[in-house]
Amino acid sequence: MSDAVVHVVDDDADARDSLAFLLETADFRVRTYASALAFLSELSEVEPGCVITDVRMPGMTGQELVRRLKAEGSALPVVMITGHGDIPMAVEAMRDGVVDFIEKPFSEARILAALQRALAAAPQPTVSDDQAQVLARMETLSERERQVLDGVVAGHPNKIIARDLGISPRTVEIYRAKLMSKMHADNLAALVRMTLSVRN
């Protein structure tokens, strides 16, 4: 597919090998690491590409790895995967700059799409047109939808957003579905990513 390498960081050997096999059959070059620390120990010699890391790992979590990479000045885009995802965790990961946050079990198409997006991430992407589109979509949101969006981007679960706005969690779900449709967001990670792109 390219000279780029996908660096898979996961302490679960079966999950790591399974993902590596899937990616290799899709013509990606893959290197695997049993821990975040093992990956960091080789960072100076790591080939360009992107990183797929699990969130929950002993020693150093995926989120700690992302922050460490940023601190080291690494430009490697990161896709985060987890079997125990929640909204605050996803939002925190997006704020830390991950390209995508994917919950297990995920489809082959989902992980491959995230990887292609990660590998296409240029050091200085031209986002002005994209930002204009996002801002135009935000203009179509009602005041209540904007309030729900603010709560989602702040990492609050539906229950907290509902309490803050004085509405039911079910009503929050309805507003969230509407604003995701209006924003053309396929999933929560995409919604947070596009919103942060115009707010940062």
pLDDT of residue 1: 46
pLDDT at residue number 128: 57
State pTM to two decimals: 0.64
Which pLDDT band, with edges at 50, 70 and 90, does 12 fall under?
very high
Q: What percentage of the chain's residues is helix, strand, coil (to nearest 5)?
A: 55, 10, 30
Q: How far apart are CA 65 and CA 61, in angstroms?
A: 6
**According to the model, what pLDDT value does residue 126 have?**
47
What would the pLDDT profile of 113-167 be if each residue is shown by its tens digit?
A: 999 888 887 444 444 577 888 888 888 999 999 999 999 989 899 999 999 999 9
Q: What is the pLDDT of residues 82-125, one digit of tens each?
A: 887 677 877 888 888 899 988 888 889 999 999 988 888 744 44
pLDDT tens per residue, range 42-78:
988 888 889 999 988 999 999 999 999 988 888 889 9
The reported pLDDT for the residue numbered 13 is 93
Nearest by Cα to 120 from 195, 50, 173: 50
Cα dihedral 10, 13, 15, 16 in deg (nearest 10): 60
Residue 188, pLDDT score? 83
Query: Residue 2's pLDDT band (boundaries 50, 70, 90)?
Result: low
Taking a C-beta distance cutoff of 8 angstroms, is the pair 9, 53 a contact? Answer: yes
